[in-house]
Amino acid sequence: MARDLGTKYICFKCGTKFYDLKKPVPSCPKCGADQREAPVAKPQTARQQRAAAAKEAEEAEAPAAEEPETEDEEDEAEDAGDDE
Ligand SMILES: [Zn+2]
């Protein structure tokens, strides 16, 4: 029989995942933060979300891979403006 653990939370302070076990006060088992006092997450812009997600993915998939991204392809029609 599956136990009902209540609502799942991710602590806004320390990031611990836990269930409130249907307690009236959902407090983090690790740091004790009352999740009802969590700051309301502001809706991020799509760009911010993407950046954050990309960063996470990068850090998770490529540990210590420091490849300098040199994409300096700027000599493309740079001097095409003097044909008066
Ligand atoms: Zn916590």
Give the closest residue to 7 by CA, choosing from 20, 17, 16.
Answer: 20
Measure 44 CA to ligand 1 centroid, in angstroms: 22
pTM above 0.85, yes or no: no
pLDDT of residue 76: 61
In the chain, which residues have pLDDT < 50?
A: none
pLDDT of residue 79: 66
pLDDT of residue 62: 61
Measure 62 CA to ligand 1 centroid, in angstroms: 28
Measure 38 CA to ligand 1 centroid, in angstroms: 11
Counting Cβ atoms within 10 Å, is residue 77 exposed (0-12), middle (13-18) or buried (19+)?
exposed
Measure 33 CA to ligand 1 centroid, in angstroms: 5
Q: In this predicted model, what pLDDT tens digit does every residue of 46-69 receive, in sequence order? A: 888 888 888 888 777 666 667 677
